[in-house]
């Protein structure tokens, strides 16, 4: 979501005549797009702002804006920070070019956030956001050949630990017509892979006349767009998961057999305290159904370790779930209490930082062992990948490089593959023969 918002804001500012620089020293304006999901992310923003405050001592004209979820969460409090000129929430991003211009003209403090975040976004506001989205989604700011398309905003789930409903507001599904128009335009621009985005994307629901469009309908409509080769969707929520989605994945060749479906915990007691509305057994039944219907499906999960009240026995249940779920990979987070959430109001943060850390390491170890064992089955296989571009860190020994850079690509099932090839492959499909595997990465030859 934040990558998409950053791309949209970059596009809008370029259209307003600004140019992008990666160097703060060259910049007239610095915008920080923020995440509030864990405290660590917010702490990093505050440390950046401290640094920018120093820079402003020698560059007093520098305009600093904080945008996104932290802007919505802290609002005026953030505007009080000495370094900050603009505070702009996620629903106000279409105003950014105007806010930036006003700040450059000498209006030093500008605030634009949603006053009542629990109130449903008005039709007018939704249509402004829709127009902004379609006007500035140029693929130039994404990974080559790939684009994100938001199909929903907000979330109604109120998992007790989560800040998202308090900063992104109520769930709103976008109408299917502009979504498909957007995908058609992106495909005409050369985009090959579309990732549909929503916090609980399986609950996409758009009533129009005598029918209601659901995610399976969107997948079918997107599949008909010429030029699109792969379609992904993230993130799924394990309740109200319509079987039609699994059939769409099985029957539509363009829909990638990859499901990101967070479990968060394997303990029913903790799942209840998290307000997740399912049990570990129900979650595993859903995974079994998905594997039954979608041949070769790869599944990824999210877990929070050290949630308030989590005992050794609760954590053992999570380890058990991970062993049974046979994920491709897991994203594991240490519980971070978020102000204003129900868990923060009602539950003490009982698990010491050191225990959270150990549980994180242990769960990762269990998952890596499973992935490492499973990934061996790829040895010798030739896989199709969509190449993304040069790999950020070197993986193979230089002798294997043959004068070509190391590229990174992903399979339809979202496995990361590292191989040597020409940079010009970025944004194109390639076939790679797998020669080596690790728990997180496959390595091979073009």
329 binds, among ligand SAM, ligand SF4, none (CB under 5 to 8 A by kind): none
Q: How many other β-carbons are positioned within 10 Å of the β-carbon of residue 193? A: 24
Q: Does 164 bind ligand SF4 (CB under 6 A)?
A: yes
In whole angstroms, the minimum distance from the beta carbon of 132 to ligand SAM comes to 22
Q: Quick one: tokens of 167?
A: 């900063």
In whole angstroms, the minimum distance from the beta carbon of 235 to ligand SF4 comes to 7
183 binds, among ligand SAM, ligand SF4, none (CB under 5 to 8 A by kind): none
333 binds, among ligand SAM, ligand SF4, none (CB under 5 to 8 A by kind): ligand SAM
158 binds, among ligand SAM, ligand SF4, none (CB under 5 to 8 A by kind): ligand SF4
- Alpha carbon separation from 380 to 295, 437, 443, 444 (Å, rounded): 20, 10, 11, 9
Q: How many other β-carbons are positioned within 10 Å of the β-carbon of residue 377? A: 10
Dihedral of CA 280/282/285/290: which sign? negative
In whole angstroms, the minimum distance from the beta carbon of 138 to ligand SAM comes to 25
Q: Does 359 bind ligand SAM (CB under 6 A)?
A: no
Closest CA to 253 of 230, 235, 225, 232: 230
Q: Quick one: tokens of 95?
A: 């105003």
Q: Does 302 bind ligand SAM (CB under 6 A)?
A: yes
In whole angstroms, the minimum distance from the beta carbon of 154 to ligand SF4 comes to 9
Distance from CA of residue 72 to its chain's centroid? 18
Determine which residue in the list 30, 45, 152, 162 makes contact with ligand SF4, applying CB under 6 A. 162
Answer whether 330's CB lies under 8 Å from 363's CB: yes
Which residues, 6 or more positions from 278, have their beta carbon under 8 angstroms from its beta carbon?
A: 238, 239, 271
- Alpha carbon separation from 320 to 177, 325, 367 (Å, rounded): 43, 9, 11
Stretch that binds ligand SF4, among 155-163, 239-247, 384-392, 413-421 (CB under 6 A): 155-163
Phi, psi angles (nearest 5°) of residue 206: -135, 100
Phi, psi angles (nearest 5°) of residue 212: -120, 125
Q: Quick one: tokens of 5?
A: 């918002």
Q: Which is nearer to ligand SAM, 169 or 262 (CB)?
A: 262
Q: Does 155 bind ligand SF4 (CB under 6 A)?
A: yes
Q: Which is nearer to ligand SAM, 341 or 391 (CB)?
A: 341
Q: Could you say which residues in the range 182-221 bind ligand SF4, by CB under 6 A?
A: 199-200
Determine which residue in the list 89, 90, 165, 421 makes contact with ligand SF4, applying CB under 6 A. 165
Q: Which is nearer to ligand SF4, 161 or 419 (CB)?
A: 161
Dihedral of CA 355/357/363/365: which sign? negative
Helix (H) or strand (E) holding 363: helix 353-375
Q: Could you say which residues in the range 133-162 bind ligand SAM, by CB under 6 A?
A: 161-162
Q: Could you say which residues in the range 232-291 bind ligand SF4, by CB under 6 A?
A: 237
First to last CA, the chain: 32
Phi, psi angles (nearest 5°) of residue 362: -65, -45
38 binds, among ligand SAM, ligand SF4, none (CB under 5 to 8 A by kind): ligand SAM
Q: Which is nearer to ligand SAM, 97 or 262 (CB)?
A: 262
- Alpha carbon separation from 261 to 24, 86, 330 (Å, rounded): 38, 36, 10
Q: Does 349 bind ligand SAM (CB under 6 A)?
A: no
Which residues, 6 or more positions from 78, have their beta carbon under 8 angstroms from its beta carbon?
A: 66, 70, 71, 84, 87
Q: Does 199 bind ligand SAM (CB under 6 A)?
A: yes
Q: Which is nearer to ligand SF4, 48 or 277 (CB)?
A: 277
x/- mask, ligand SAM, residues 230-269, rule CB under 6 A, reads -----x-x------------------------x-x-----
**Interacting residue ranges for ligand SF4, rule: CB under 6 A:** 155, 157-159, 162, 164-165, 199-200, 237
**Interacting residue ranges for ligand SAM, rule: CB under 6 A:** 37-38, 161-162, 164, 199-200, 235, 237, 262, 264, 302, 304, 333, 335-336, 338
């Amino acid at each position: 979501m934040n990558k998409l918002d950053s791309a949209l804001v970059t596009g809008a500012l370029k259209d307003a005549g600004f140019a992008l620089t990666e160097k703060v020293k060259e910049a007239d304006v610095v915008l920080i797009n923020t995440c509030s999901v864990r405290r660590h992310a917010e702490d990093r923003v505050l440390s950046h702002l401290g640094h920018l405050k120093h820079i402003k001592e020698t560059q007093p004209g520098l305009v600093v804006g904080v945008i996104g979820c932290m802007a919505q969460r802290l609002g005026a409090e953030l505007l009080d920070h000495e370094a900050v000129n603009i505070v702009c929430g996620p629903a106000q991003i279409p105003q950014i070019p105007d806010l930036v211009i006003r700040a450059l003209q000498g209006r030093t403090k500008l605030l634009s956030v949603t006053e009542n975040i629990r109130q449903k976004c008005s039709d007018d506001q939704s249509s402004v956001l829709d127009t902004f989205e379609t006007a500035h989604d140029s693929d130039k700011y994404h990974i080559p050949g790939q684009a994100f398309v938001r199909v929903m905003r907000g979330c109604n789930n109120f998992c007790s630990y989560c800040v998202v409903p308090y900063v992104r507001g109520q769930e709103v599904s976008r109408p299917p017509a502009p979504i498909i128009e957007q995908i058609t335009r992106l495909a005409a621009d050369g985009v090959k892979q579309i990732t549909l985005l929503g916090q609980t994307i399986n609950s996409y629901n758009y009533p129009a006349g005598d029918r209601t469009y659901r995610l399976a309908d969107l997948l079918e409509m997107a599949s008909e767009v010429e030029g699109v080769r792969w379609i992904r969707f993230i993130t799924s929520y394990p309740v109200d998961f319509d079987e039609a989605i699994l059939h769409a994945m099985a029957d539509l060749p363009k829909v990638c057999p990859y499901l990101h479906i967070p479990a968060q915990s394997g303990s029913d007691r903790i799942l209840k305290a998290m307000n997740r509305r399912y049990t570990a057994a129900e979650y595993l039944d859903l995974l079994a159904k998905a594997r039954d219907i979608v041949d070769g499906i790869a599944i990824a999960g999210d877990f929070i370790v050290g949630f308030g009240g989590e005992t050794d026995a609760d954590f053992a249940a999570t380890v058990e779930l991970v062993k049974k779920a046979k994920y491709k990979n897991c994203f594991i987070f240490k519980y971070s209490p978020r102000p204003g959430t129900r868990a923060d109001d009602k539950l003490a943060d009982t698990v010491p930082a050191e225990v959270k850390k150990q549980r994180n390491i242990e769960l990762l170890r269990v998952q890596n062992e499973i992935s490492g064992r499973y990934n061996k089955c790829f040895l010798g296989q030739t896989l199709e990948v969509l190449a993304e571009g040069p790999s950020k860190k070197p993986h193979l020994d230089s002798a294997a490089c043959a004068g070509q850079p190391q590229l990174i690509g992903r399979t339809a099932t979202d496995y990361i593959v590292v191989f040597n090839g020409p940079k010009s492959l970025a944004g194109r499909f390639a076939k790679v023969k797998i020669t080596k595997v690790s728990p997180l990465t496959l390595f091979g030859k073009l």
